[in-house]
Chains A and B, each alone.
Chain A
Amino acid sequence: MDIRQMSELFLIAFFSYVIVLFLLRLSGKRTLLKMNAFDFIITVSVGAVFGNMLINYKENLFQGLYVIFLLLLFQFFSSLLSSRYTFFDTLLKANPTLLFYEGTYYEAILKKERIPRSEVLQAMREQGIGRIEEVGAVILETDGTISVLPKEKSKENNLDTLQDLDKKSKKRKKDSDDDQFD
């Protein structure tokens, strides 16, 4: 590797750094918000393309910049459409699913979503909860994380963050609520 190559690499790294930074800044904070499975993949892809295009700059530099531009553009339009039209939102994102509610595991759902009970327990522990009785609801979110809602908070408030659950989860929650009044 001679000095000419080194200075070439220097210039290329510098300018692509500035360009990628500019593209990201242009597309906004939302681009990196990890709200569904896809957001995170896009973020990692942009990073991988960036790295690859620097290493193989002789063949891939402009192609790489173009691909990053396209990835960010698609991400921009998909989030734009889904924040404005519910139709696109339901197309791009699954609704969250209720896995556990007021002491009951939903076995069929756990099987369908391929989540063992041990992972539900792990999610509870990660929230700092030690007793299952303290848990009001456990929800599988659209980005693949598991939310745990503590019981004492769900008792005193209405559960208005659960409005966007999928239909079956809503029905199970309703059945369980009805049981308690019997």
Chain B
Amino acid sequence: MTISLIEAVKLIAISVVSFISIVLILRSSGKRTLSKMNAFDFIVTVALGSVLATTIVNYKASFWSGILTFAMLVTLQHVATWLSVRYKSVGSLLKSDPALLYYNDTFQEQAMRKERVDRNELKQAIRKSGYVSFEGISAIILESDGTLTVMSDSEKRQLEKEDFIFIEKQ
């Protein structure tokens, strides 16, 4: 494949213009757009990257529509988070509640089956947080962005089950 000098220069210009547009779009929408708080945020971030890549590679066919698509996705994300902060019903529609998978030395079997998580995955989560045994663990929670939070015993002393108000009813 050959690439002429004009094309090379054009490609540089295209990259610079798209880079600047993307920075402006993201900056105007705020940090929240790229934070990974629920299941959907990460997917949208990857989709943004994919749109940007296609826009630059196929700049002849789709440059401005690419930038517009990028702006559209960012706007939709912005509106969705804006609504979910203001209206509870929108928030619970967009985000699932965290689920308690292990508490008080017992596996919450029903919740584990419902969320399709097995015991080995809980062990892995414990090891990843640097603990070695279920003994020191008070609770394991599946968060709405799909990560597992491991809470150690020292936190248990201040927390009783009633304190886990953010956990959906089992």
Contacts and interface: CB of A to CB of B under 8 A. Distances in A.
B97 to A, nearest CB: 9
Interface in B118-169: 118, 120-121, 123-124, 126-128, 130-136, 142-148
Given A10-B72, A20-B43, A52-B54, A153 B131 contact: yes
B50 A149 contact: no
Contacts of A137: 132
A55 B40 contact: no
A130 interface: no
A74 interface: no
20 contacts: A9-B69, A9-B72, A24-B40, A28-B96, A31-B39, A32-B146, A33-B148, A48-B50, A50-B50, A51-B47, A51-B51, A55-B51, A56-B62, A83-B116, A84-B113, A96-B124, A127-B130, A153-B133, A159-B132, A160-B135
Given A29-B96, A55-B66, A153-B136, A161 B131 contact: yes
Main secondary structure of the interface of A (DSSP, over half): helix
A51 B117 contact: no
Interface of A: 1, 5-6, 9-10, 13-14, 17, 20-21, 24-25, 28-35, 43-44, 46-48, 50-52, 54-56, 76, 79-80, 82-84, 89, 93, 96, 127, 136-137, 139, 141-143, 145, 147-150, 153-154, 157-164
B130 to A, nearest CB: 6
B50 A79 contact: no
B110 to A, nearest CB: 12
Contacts, number: 184
A72 B60 CA distance: 33
Contacts of B14: none
Contact of B123 (A13, A56, A161): A161
A28 B93 CA distance: 12
The bracket for how many chain B residues form the interface is: 35 or more
A55 B65 contact: yes
B146 A147 contact: no
B38 to A, nearest CB: 9
9 tightest CB-CB pairs across the interface, nearest first? A47-B46, A51-B50, A32-B146, A157-B133, A51-B47, A147-B127, A50-B47, A13-B72, A161-B123
Contacts of A17: 73, 76
Nearest to A39: B146
A139 B124 CA distance: 10
Contacts of B25: none
B47 A80 contact: no
B42 A35 contact: no
Nearest to B148: A33
A132 B94 CA distance: 45
A157 B69 contact: no
A55 B148 CA distance: 34
Interface string B97-117: 001000000000000110111
Contacts of A76: 116
